[in-house]
């Protein structure tokens, strides 16, 4: 038998530095770093996503009753910082897991961090000199990375380490947290930081991505300015009961909600489906076939601008969730998602029918539906997550006719006499009819 | 598209012989399913009863189905629909059928007949996706559509119609030559099958074909039917006597079962009945009848309704 040899299939550092940082925007990087902070928070405070973030708890357990933690993002032309008091990463986790490219264990320990690439991809994208310090109640450590130096040494797997440069004692839980400082920023990142739009873009991305976490669990500041939470435009009223469909399969809980948008937020832009994985918004107001429009639902049309759907996927193992690696999109081939998408169409059907009735093609717009829709106000969707599945319902008022038409012929001369008396020569005949009736009611029929 | 209810102005539902034969064959099949252990009497029947409720009457009387739901889209004749309701047991809902499908109880088995009068369109296909998504295992899904060529005179125009209405379900057949008149039944069968399969994504159950009828009481119509079922239902079906019938279609690749109704007088029918079921070569001695008509009659005589004037 001939000598059998192996071919090399080593990872190359350049690949990680140059390739996989290309597929992600600077905003996504910051979101990835925030995901890490959130995961520390969930872990250190023992917070259950379903019970305390999404508020599905039964039996009196409420959303996290703790003072919100803080995540502070600061940047200038020379430096990027993100720091939190979310509980930190233990030295053991740092040594074995956090800095690896990809998770080694089968079940990730976090709920928002999935693939074990987010933090590395983010820091490599931002700059070349990186310092990560993390303090837990047990210990503290600092890892320093000089990316250029690190990338030059790439001959064996032994070169794939980062040095721990400092080890200290633990701190109280309120001070435990992680801070990352990045210097020697990449040129393209400097350009973004200087173009004057990044603050707003980051704030907008964070506000829309974490409505379930912001304020109740954590506050985020960007260059000293608080990020505003952007609640999902989920509507309800006394006349409107949102549709709910729930199922659980292969370790993933799926909750689908369909309703009308609140009146004051109703625009074509905000309409559509919102998809959340473990409480993090991954798809925002989608109106494409990704969420079933044109497949299980009709193609999106301006008359559906009142539609809002929320699809929640939760799992203890975030690998099972249908998000993609940037967590700002879906893996539409995921079987759980394909199944959910069909049921998203089902739970939406009665809402779509209602909106069709509101804007019928062959008739003037319907007043009953318009009135009902106008009373829809913003509502927190979270209490509905623990409710039973049910169909979207509209309670239409029993219409009782309260008016009738009074129409009759009169002598033109009589109309003229009244016009003259009232000194209003241009008054219409119908206004005179109204006026004389009101006059009689007032003078002869006191209430 | 014609909304389902409105076709009742065009067609007297109860006097369409081929359609009635189809109903009778379905009942025959459901009775066989009953013997094979499917509790048909406990199924819910959901259909589009119009103002005649023909299938509701038959299914209630002959199959003992007690839970009946008729869905109609037109709110213009609400009172008339309710007035014509044949039994108290029939519930009527006025809304698009697609709104009802997600609400069909998953704790119950269903017979759902999407008995459309029109050509297949995107809305029907969405209903089929919903049916595949929501019908419980053991349920039976029937779909009837018009398979006449759409508006226009050429396969190109017909292809364009279907490309617009069924774009997601065209499959490999998207060329003009795939839409010649004689291919339209096969194309429609493909759309229906694919839409149901889209709804079944991620479910353990699959669509197990049972029926593939074509007939014409005027327009050419196609009915595809089958069970939403798992391996267990597949085994149960395989063991049933449905396999002995000529109308059963366990796969949709073989040609559909064509219900053809020979024109016969009442006297001729009585005579023929006396020799049924006849052998292949039998010919009536008393009058001329082409052999294909004899064979067609042999196929349907058990299911063929007799119409007579009734002075009430």
Q: What CATH number is attached to the domain comprising B181? A: 3.40.50.150
d(CA B9, CA A74): 72
Options 3.30.70.120, 3.30.565.10, 3.40.50.1100, 3.40.50.2000; CATH of A13-226: 3.30.565.10
d(CA B65, CA B267): 35
Q: Specify whether B207 is located in the same domain as B159.
A: yes
B277 has pLDDT over 80: yes
Pick the residue from chain B with its C-alpha nearest to A337.
Answer: B202
Q: Please, which pLDDT band fits residue B14 given cuts at 50, 70 and 90?
A: low
Closest C-alpha among A38, A40, A42 to residue A52? A42
Q: Specify whether B215 is located in the same domain as B184.
A: yes
Residues of A with Cβ-Cβ distance to B103 under 8 angstroms: 391
Q: Specify whether B312 is located in the same domain as B206.
A: no
Q: Between B283 and A102, name the one with better pLDDT.
A: B283
Tell me the nearest-neighbour CA distance from A341 into chain B, angstroms: 9
Tell me the nearest-neighbour CA distance from B194 into chain A, angstroms: 12
A63 has pLDDT over 60: no
pLDDT given at position B195: 96
B8 has pLDDT over 70: no
Contact B141, B207 (CB under 8 A): yes
pLDDT given at position B218: 85
Q: Does A245 touch chain B (CB under 8 A)?
A: yes
Closest C-alpha among B116, B293, B109, B87 to residue B221? B116
Interface contact flag, B202 A335, Cβ < 8 Å: yes
3-state secondary structure chain A: CCCCCCCCCCCCHHHHHHHCCCCCCHHHHHHHHHHHHHHHHHHHCCCCHHHHHCCCCCCCCCCCCCCCEEEEEEECCCEEEEEECCCCCCHHHHHHHHCCCCCCCCCCCCCCCCCCCHHHHHHHHHEEEEEEEEECCCEEEEEEEEHHHHHHCCCCHHHCCCCEEEEEECCCHHHCEEEEEEEEECHHHHHHHHCCCHHHHHHHHHHHHCCCCECCCEEEEECCEECCCCCCCCEEECCEECEEEEEEECCEEEEEEEEECCHHHCCCCCCEEEEEECCEEEEEEECCHHHCECCCECCCCHHHCCEEEEEEEECCCHHHCCECCCCCCECCCCHHHHHHHHHHHHHHHHHHHHHHHHCCCCCCCCHHHHHHHHCCEECCCHHHHHCCCECCEECCCCCCCCCCCCCCCCCHHHHHHHHHHHCCCCCCHHHHHHHHHHHHHHHHCCC
Q: Specify whether B42 is located in the same domain as B139.
A: yes
Exposed/middle/buried for residue B274 (C-beta within 10 Å: 0-12, 13-18, 19+): exposed
pLDDT given at position A58: 44
Q: Please, which pLDDT band fits residue A243 given cuts at 50, 70 and 90?
A: very high
Q: Specify whether B10 is located in the same domain as B127.
A: yes
Of B95, B103, B129, the CB nearest to A342: B129
A320 has pLDDT over 80: yes
Tell me the CA distances in angstroms from B39 to A174, B109, B132, B177, B234, one per residue in order: 63, 9, 21, 45, 15
Of B99, B126, B203, the CB nearest to A296: B126
Q: Between B202 and A66, name the one with better pLDDT.
A: B202
Ranges of each domain in chain A: 13-226, 235-394, 412-444
pLDDT given at position B90: 95
d(CA B22, CA B119): 19
Q: Specify whether B139 is located in the same domain as B76.
A: yes
Interface contact flag, A339 B202, Cβ < 8 Å: yes
Strand order in the sheet with A127-135: A164-169, A139-146, A127-135, A177-185, A79-84, A69-75, A218-222, A225-226
pLDDT given at position A309: 97
The tally of domains found in chain B comes to: 2
Residue from A246, A251, A294, A296 to probe the interface with B (highest B Cβ count within 10 Å):
A296
A120 has pLDDT over 90: no
pLDDT given at position A326: 83
Tell me the nearest-neighbour CA distance from A67 into chain B, angstroms: 42
Of B95, B129, B202, the CB nearest to A296: B129
Q: Specify whether B138 is located in the same domain as B287.
A: no
pLDDT given at position A162: 87
Does the domain formed by A235-394 have CATH 1.10.3470?
no
- DSSP-derived letter for residue B172 is T
pLDDT one-digit tens code per residue, A171-194: 998 899 999 999 999 999 999 988
Radius of gyration of chain A (CA): 30
B3 has pLDDT over 60: no
pLDDT one-digit tens code per residue, B147-182: 999 999 999 999 999 999 998 899 888 899 999 999
Radius of gyration of chain B (CA): 20
Q: Specify whether B300 is located in the same domain as B247.
A: no
pLDDT one-digit tens code per residue, B53-83: 999 999 999 999 999 999 998 778 889 999 9
Range of the domain at B283: 262-312
Tell me the nearest-neighbour CA distance from A320 into chain B, angstroms: 14
Quote the pTM value.
Answer: 0.83
pLDDT given at position A335: 92
Q: Which residues contact B250 (CB under 8 A, 6 or more apart)?
A: B208, B209, B210, B237, B243
Q: Specify whether B208 is located in the same domain as B299.
A: no
Q: Give the helix/strand (H/E) hosting B207.
A: strand B206-216
Residues of A with Cβ-Cβ distance to B99 under 8 angstroms: 349-350, 353
pLDDT one-digit tens code per residue, A370-393: 888 888 999 888 888 888 888 998
pLDDT given at position A61: 45
Q: Specify whether B179 is located in the same domain as B46.
A: yes
Q: Please, which pLDDT band fits residue B7 given cuts at 50, 70 and 90?
A: low
Of B129, B202, B203, the CB nearest to A345: B129
**What number of CA atoms fall less than 13 Å from residue B114's CA on the CB side?**
33
Residues of B with Cβ-Cβ distance to A390 under 8 angstroms: none
Q: Specify whether B281 is located in the same domain as B215.
A: no
Contact A181, A130 (CB under 8 A): yes
Tell me the nearest-neighbour CA distance from B272 into chain A, angstroms: 50
Tell me the nearest-neighbour CA distance from B44 into chain A, angstroms: 19
Interface contact flag, A346 B122, Cβ < 8 Å: no
pLDDT given at position A60: 40
Q: Please, which pLDDT band fits residue B2 given cuts at 50, 70 and 90?
A: very low
Q: Are strands B206-216 and B257-259 parallel, antiparallel or unpaired?
A: parallel
Q: Which residues pair with A314 in a beta bridge?
A: A253
Tell me the CA distances in angstroms from B112 to A421, B45, B139, one per residue in order: 71, 6, 8
Question: What average pLDDT does range A25-40 have in this prediction?
Answer: 93
Interface of A with B in 174-233 (CB under 8 A): none
Interface contact flag, B168 A294, Cβ < 8 Å: yes
Report CA torsion sign: A142, A143, A148, A149: positive
Interface contact flag, A342 B133, Cβ < 8 Å: yes
Structure tokens at A332: 């539409």
Q: Does A339 touch chain B (CB under 8 A)?
A: yes
Residues of A with Cβ-Cβ distance to B3 under 8 angstroms: none
Residues of A with Cβ-Cβ distance to B132 under 8 angstroms: 342
d(CA A237, CA A235): 7
Of B102, B168, B201, the CB nearest to A347: B102
Question: What average pLDDT does range A244-257 have in this prediction?
Answer: 94
Residues of B with Cβ-Cβ distance to A335 under 8 angstroms: 201-202
Tell me the CA distances in angstroms from B28 to A235, B45, B248, B254, B303, one per residue in order: 50, 16, 11, 21, 9
Q: Specify whether B248 is located in the same domain as B288.
A: no
d(CA A132, CA A122): 13
pLDDT one-digit tens code per residue, A335-346: 999 999 999 999
pLDDT given at position A399: 64
Q: Which residues pair with A132 in a beta bridge?
A: A143, A180
Residues of A with Cβ-Cβ distance to B203 under 8 angstroms: 339
Average per-residue pLDDT for chain A: 88
Interface of B with A (CB under 8 A): 95-96, 98-99, 101-103, 122-123, 126, 129-130, 132-134, 168, 198-199, 201-203
Q: Between B264 and A54, name the one with better pLDDT.
A: B264
Average per-residue pLDDT for chain B: 92
Residues of B with Cβ-Cβ distance to A346 under 8 angstroms: 101-102, 130, 133-134
DSSP character string of B99-167 = HHGGGS-TTS-EEEEEEEEEE--HHHHHHHHHHHHHPPTTEEEEEEEE-S--SSSSHHHHHHHHHHHSG
pLDDT given at position A1: 55
A vs B, Cβ pairs < 8 A, gives 61
pLDDT one-digit tens code per residue, A122-166: 999 999 999 999 999 999 999 999 988 988 888 888 888 888 888
Interface contact flag, B102 A349, Cβ < 8 Å: yes
Contact B120, B165 (CB under 8 A): yes
Q: Please, which pLDDT band fits residue B242 given cuts at 50, 70 and 90?
A: very high
């Amino acid at each position: 038998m001939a000598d059998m040899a192996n071919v090399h299939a080593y990872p190359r550092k350049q690949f990680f530095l140059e390739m996989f940082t290309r597929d992600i925007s600077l905003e996504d990087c910051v979101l990835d770093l925030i995901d890490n902070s959130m995961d520390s928070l969930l872990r250190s405070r023992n917070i259950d996503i379903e019970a305390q973030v999404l508020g599905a708890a039964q039996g009196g357990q409420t959303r996290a009753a703790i003072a919100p933690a803080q995540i502070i993002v600061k940047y200038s032309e020379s430096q990027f910082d993100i720091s939190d008091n979310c509980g930190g990463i233990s030295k053991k986790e740092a040594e074995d897991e956090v800095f690896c490219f990809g998770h080694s264990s089968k079940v990730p320990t976090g709920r928002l961090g999935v693939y074990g690439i987010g933090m590395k991809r983010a820091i490599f994208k931002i700059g070349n000199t990186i310092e990560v310090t993390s303090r837990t109640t047990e210990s503290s450590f600092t890892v320093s990375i000089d990316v250029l130096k690190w990338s030059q040494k790439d001959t064996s797997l032994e070169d794939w380490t980062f040095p721990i440069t400092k080890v200290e004692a633990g701190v109280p839980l309120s001070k435990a947290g992680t801070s990352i400082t990045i210097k020697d920023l990449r040129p393209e990142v400097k350009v973004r930081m200087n173009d004057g739009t990044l603050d707003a873009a980051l704030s907008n991305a964070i506000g829309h991505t974490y409505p379930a976490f912001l304020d109740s669990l954590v506050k985020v500041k960007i260059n000293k300015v608080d990020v505003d939470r952007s609640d999902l435009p989920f509507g309800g009223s006394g006349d409107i009961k949102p549709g709910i469909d729930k199922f659980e399969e292969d370790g993933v809980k799926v909750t689908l909600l369909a309703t009308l948008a609140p009146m004051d937020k109703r625009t074509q832009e905000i309409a559509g489906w919102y998809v959340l994985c473990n409480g993090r918004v991954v798809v925002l107001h989608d109106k494409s076939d990704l969420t079933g429009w044109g497949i299980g639902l009709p193609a999106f049309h301006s008359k559906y601008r009142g539609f809002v759907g929320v699809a929640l996927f939760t799992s203890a193992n975030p690998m099972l969730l249908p998000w993609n690696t940037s967590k700002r999109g879906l893996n539409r081939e995921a079987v759980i998602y394909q199944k959910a998408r069909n049921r998203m169409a089902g739970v939406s059907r009665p809402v779509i029918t209602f909106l069709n009735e509101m804007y019928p093609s062959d008739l003037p717009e319907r007043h009953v539906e318009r009135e009902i829709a106008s009373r829809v106000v913003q509502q927190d969707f979270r209490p509905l997550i623990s409710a039973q599945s049910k169909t979207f319902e509209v309670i239409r008022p029993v219409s009782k006719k309260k008016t009738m038409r009074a129409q009759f012929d009169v002598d033109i001369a009589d109309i003229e006499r009244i016009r003259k008396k009232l000194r209003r020569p241009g008054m219409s005949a119908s206004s005179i009819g109204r006026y004389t009736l009101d006059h009689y009611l007032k003078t002869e029929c006191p209430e | 598209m014609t909304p389902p209810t409105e076709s009742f102005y065009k067609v007297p539902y109860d006097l369409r012989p081929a359609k009635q034969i189809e109903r009778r064959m379905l009942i025959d099949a459901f009775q066989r399913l009953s013997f094979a252990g499917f509790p048909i009497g406990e199924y819910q029947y959901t259909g589009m009863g119009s103002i005649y409720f023909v299938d509701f009457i038959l299914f209630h009387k002959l199959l003992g189905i007690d839970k009946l739901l008729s869905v109609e889209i037109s709110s213009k004749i609400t009172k008339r629909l309710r007035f014509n309701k044949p039994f108290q047991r029939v519930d009527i809902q006025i809304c698009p059928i697609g709104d009802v499908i997600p609400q069909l109880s998953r704790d119950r088995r269903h017979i759902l007949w999407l008995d459309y009068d029109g050509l297949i369109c995107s809305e029907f296909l969405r209903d089929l996706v919903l049916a595949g998504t929501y019908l419980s295992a053991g349920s039976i899904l029937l779909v009837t559509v018009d398979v006449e060529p759409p508006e226009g005179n050429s396969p190109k125009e017909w292809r364009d119609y279907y490309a617009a209405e069924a774009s997601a379900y065209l499959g490999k057949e998207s060329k003009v030559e795939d839409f010649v008149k004689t291919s339209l039944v096969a194309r429609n069968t493909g759309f229906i099958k694919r839409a149901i399969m889209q709804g079944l994504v991620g479910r353990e159950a699959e669509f197990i074909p049972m029926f593939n009828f074509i007939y014409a009481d005027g327009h050419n119509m196609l009915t595809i039917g089958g069970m939403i079922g798992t391996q267990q239902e597949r085994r149960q079906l395989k063991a049933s006597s449905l396999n002995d019938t000529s109308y059963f279609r366990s796969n949709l690749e073989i040609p559909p079962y064509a219900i053809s109704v020979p024109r016969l007088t009442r006297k001729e029918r009585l005579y023929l009945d006396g020799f049924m079921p006849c052998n292949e070569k039998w010919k009536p001695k008393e009058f001329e009848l082409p052999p294909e008509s004899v064979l067609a009659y042999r196929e349907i005589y058990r299911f063929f309704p007799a119409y007579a004037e009734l002075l009430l």
